Chain A
């Protein structure tokens, strides 16, 4: 035995020196090694001391290579009450004793068992592992099943997926000549690991990670660790690795997977492998995070603390969901009922009509074909097909086969779609030629099915297994697949991504059916109605509602390209009684109304319902739409990807409501409950749910049609569903005495003044009513709870003088400032003017108030001292 190993410096960022200590442990061979551990102790005040178990349990955290227990410092700091956190440095690593020979995987697992025994851990344990610490921690977990309460894994692997030869970067470092030079002879590997972080780590943190590995002698185990990774079948550690990988499949304790999708070491396929082994695991993907997840996503610590606190509480969030036990009518029921009806079910742009009979047959054949091709309960099928009868048929066929459709809007852009669809891990991609080409560019997983015929070369290049026609042929005469469980998933849709990465939203069959029924009841739709879906998502509703649908000639990514004539042609094609459109589409329709022929005007004159959805609709636009659709009653639903619709308001009701604090979106629909969670003085929606009029808070929704959960976003889901059964929308607003909801902005945009929270939309509306003001953004500057309210105004007719940068801010003149202050309704600290407000990339319509606030804060801080 050598002298006591050195200790970590006492001033490493985030590390409490009281946690650090050395523990001598004798292994099975009789050899004694000195371990370094970070240890919170069993109770407060016992940091780094004491044996035995904490009241609730112990988190045993195992780092990988070439890091050390420093990786877990935030989890030690965030430990929940009653929990002890122990993070050892593996032998030869960190500040533990150096070894005279390499340690194998089997030895490392045994070592950890010796350590836990020496520490007297006999009570409940949750293991936590990162990188190659993952498999070591799981080895311990399998050997201590009786005390294991859960496993947490972050960017790790237990097995090489079939045909995989290990992470390319590690494989490179594994090559014998390279390995010793990179891992031991130089600090390249040690330094490169912390260089993977996104965003980059502060230099002091990178230095802290490198601190125990300053000399080649101290790095020896780093190289040995890499050498012990069993890439090839014959590797001495391979049997143990395979045994652990196999054993994990039988682990029935709760599991939490935390993943940084930008990891160049452990890519998506390792996550897929882990999810296959632990299908019950909760998963949170930290979009933007890379390999060193505990560094890139510091909030992981709170997530783990939250998760272990919830273990064994036995709360089933679905228990409080309304409608869970109601009878279920399958989504495709109308198709089966109208299987003999030749009238048009879908009319595409250009006029091609598909009858109910043809569509029903197509869906039945495709469903059987998909089932024969392996699409069954839970199979995720990504759809990259333009709105068409074929898209409609595939969606209903996937449902009929028990699968889950994954749909992302092209408006997300290729990068956004890649992140979104990739996060859903589809098993199958159905695409048009363009869609499949995009899928290849996005490197999406999954088998490929082409929506139309393809030349042989393209077919090979795009790895197409079959076309829809081939699947339908295969399904002809095949037995119909078994009907899906109503409470199984049916769809993963994505939020708009206007305020961060798009989030996957999961619906079950029952929830999707509840949504259809809500739309039917709200708008009194009967089989005598036909609709034109100028807003792409609605095109899929028709067959579910049992009403014919026409898709007008419009580019789905540019809804503003719909002309009045194109709308009229679609209306005439199905003799439509209802039009579903987005505000952007409506604006262009109004603008091009002059081009309509008499026949087109007549067709539009039969429409009784105009539904405008997707973004807030100005009343003036709805009124103008009356000139094109004279008999249609304009309606606007309020809702979001997670719950749509929530409320509805007609133009007449908007006008009757008059001016208020925000946008009046009407009353909650029948069967839908709306409450608000009141804001505290720092703008957090902390208060208990209430429906009391006039209380400003985060809008919360409950109903049978609300989403089941967020996909692969455990943390987000937990935050959005804090009140069991309710969905937190992230919007702020208030109910009025008549039960109407007024939406006043987004939660992060609330200005927290010393006099209380101020929601931006009411202020903006009052300022925008001033003559000479074209647009206004109300934002806060300064610390939460004492912010100053700032109005950034675009004067009407404001043209940017040549040479001035777009979006530049300057002080408003005295008269404008006085007028804005008088109108705002809350004390305004500063009035700034600009030539345009920045809008979100996604919609080009929602003002990016966060960016406005940042610019205003910089401007109002004044000049920097010279």
Chain B
């Protein structure tokens, strides 16, 4: 089968492309810079219809991961990468008669901020989603699912908090801050959160390429919710960094996040602030999901349990002390 993977330079995109190739698929990857994978590569902006159209030609399926994932930055950048980019992918699929589109989304598209306790995948809601990333991804998911039913069968998959070796987003930031002693626990650290080991998420996306489900959004996680403080401490331990000792009450963290956002916006800084309100909320409230529909619809189950993931991450850090 011929499959196009957009956004293969990220951790999950790379793992997905590799997994598809490993099972014998003919894989093409599309991103702005070379991904360094031994695969056919089309370089270009995902929002560029020509580049995407070229890459999509002759494909049986597209797995669309390319996105701007961040907590700061101007809205137009999110709009461009996440919404315009998805429209380009959808149009290219329909134009080229690609039979299958797996649109990679995020559980935050349906999260208005309250604790999520064992819930399924609610409808994407751009009005209620918090932050530019979530809002743009909500618009993108709606757009993608609206295209289902023509020549292209579309499914939206929302992996939750994907982590693994070489991940600059979640693991990288936590470990970096822990090493400088600037990582507090927000609230009691007891909020139950779902996370997803990267290879499990990649397996789910591979399964989604073939699964008969379409027109639907599915949250993917390890199905092993843990207290957020425990997850962060385990990640720190795996990296040989000191786990957080201080705890900050949520209101204080919330205020600090608001302050940082204001400062970053006013000064136009492009790096990531230490804390945002979105992050403070994520760290202090439960968000874990009902995985029954996902597993049934995709015929998939995670192969790597959480604790095995922590052990693999520890081996990865131990293999190279410079990490």
The interface-forming segment of B57-65, B66-74, B220-228, B260-268 is: B220-228
Q: Is the CB of A830 within 8 A of B224?
A: no
Q: Which of A783, A786, A860, A866 contacts B190 (CB 8 A)?
A: A860
- Report the Cα distance A552→B119, complex, angstroms: 57
Question: Would A859 and B224 count as touching, CB distance under 8 A?
Answer: no
Measured CA separation A817–B230 after assembly (Å): 9
Complex partner residue of A863 from B119, B188, B237, CB under 8 angstroms = B188
Chain A residue numbers with a CB within 8 Å of B254 are 865-866
Within 8 A of B (CB), among A824-866: 827, 829-830, 832, 857, 859-866
Nearest neighbor of B115 in chain A, beta-carbon distance: A861
Within 8 A of B (CB), among A297-312: none
Given known contacts A781-B117, A829-B192, A863 and B187 CB-to-CB distance under 8 angstroms: yes
Q: When the two chains form their complex, are residues B284 and A783 in contact, meaning their CB atoms are under 8 A apart?
A: no
Known: A754-B292, A781-B192, A788-B225. Is A861-B250 also a contact (CB below 8 A)?
no
Kindly state the separation between the CA atoms of A404 and B60 in the bound complex, as whole angstroms.
Answer: 80
A811-B229, A830-B227, A860-B190 as given contacts; A786 in contact with B290, CB under 8 Å: yes
B237: chain A residues at CB < 8 Å are 814
**Known contacts being A786-B291, A810-B188, A830-B190, is A860 close to B286, with CB within 8 Å?**
yes
Contacts of A864 in B (CB 8 A): 250, 285
Interface: B78 (CB within 8 A): no
Contact of B233 (CB < 8 Å), options: A785, A814, A857: A814
Q: Which residues of B contact A811 (CB under 8 A)?
A: 188-190, 227, 229-230
Kindly state whether residue B95 has any CB partner on chain A within 8 Å.
no
Q: Which residue of B lies closest to A783 (CB)?
A: B118
Bound Cα distance A788, B225 (Å): 7
Is residue B114 contacting chain A, with contact meaning CB distance below 8 A?
yes
Interchain CB contact under 8 A, A827 and B190: no
Contact call B286/A754, Cβ cutoff below 8 A:
no
CA distance A838 to B223 in the complex (A): 30
Judging by beta carbons under 8 Å apart, are B225 and A862 in contact? no
CA distance A17 to B281 in the complex (A): 42
Verify if A787 is at the interface (C-beta below 8 Å from B). yes
Q: Chain B CB within 10 Å — which of A781, A832, A861 has the most?
A: A861
B251 within 8 A of A: yes
Q: Please, what's the 1-or-0 string for A728-768, where 1 marks a CB less than 8 Å from any CB in chain B?
A: 00000000000000000000000000100000000000000
Q: Which residues of A contact B291 (CB under 8 A)?
A: 754, 786
B189, B192, B228: most-surrounded residue (chain A CB, <10 A): B192
Measured between alpha carbons, how far is A862 from B117 in the docked complex, in Å?
Answer: 10
Contact B292 A786 (CB under 8 A): yes
Q: Are B118 and A787 in contact (CB under 8 A)?
A: yes
Against B, the Cβ 8 Å flags (1 = close, 0 = not) of A796-824 are 00000000000001110010010001000
Closest Cβ–Cβ distance, residue B299 to chain A (whole Å): 15
Q: Which one of B188, B227, B229, B307 has the greatest number of beta carbons of chain A within 10 Å?
A: B227
A862→B187 contact, CB < 8 A: yes
* A782 within 8 Å of B (CB atoms): yes
A859 proximity list for chain B (CB < 8 A): 188, 190
- The residues in B between 190 and 212 inclusive whose CB is less than 8 angstroms from any CB of A are 190-192
In this assembly, does B113 line the interface, its C-beta being within 8 Å of a C-beta of chain A? yes
Among A754, A809, A811, A862, residue most surrounded by chain B Cβ atoms (within 10 Å): A862
Residue of B nearest to A681 (CB): B292
Assembly CA distance A864 to B188 (angstroms): 11
Find B285's partner among A754, A785, A827, A862 (CB 8 Å cutoff). A862
Would you give the 0/1 interface string for B280-312, flagging 1 where the beta carbon is closer than 8 Å to chain A?
A: 010011101011100000000000000100000
Nearest residue (CB) in B for A862 is B191
How far, in Å, is A817 (CB) from chain B's closest CB? 7
Which of chain A's residues have a CB closer than 8 A to the CB of B250? Answer: 863-866
* Also in contact, A782 and B288, with CB within 8 A (given A830-B190, A865-B250): yes
Complex interface: chain B residues within 8 A of A810 (CB): 188, 190
Given the interface pairs A785-B292, A811-B229, A814-B233, the reply to whether A862 lies near B224 with Cβ below 8 Å is no
On A, residues with C-beta under 8 Å from B are 754, 781-783, 785-788, 809-811, 814, 817, 821, 827, 829-830, 832, 857, 859-866
18 A-B pairs with CB atoms under 8 Å apart are A783-B118, A786-B290, A786-B292, A810-B190, A814-B230, A829-B192, A830-B192, A830-B230, A859-B188, A860-B191, A861-B115, A861-B117, A861-B285, A862-B191, A863-B188, A865-B113, A866-B250, A866-B254
Other A-B pairs, 11, CB within 8 Å; known A811-B190, A829-B225, A862-B284: A810-B188, A811-B227, A814-B237, A830-B190, A830-B225, A830-B226, A862-B285, A863-B187, A863-B250, A865-B250, A866-B251
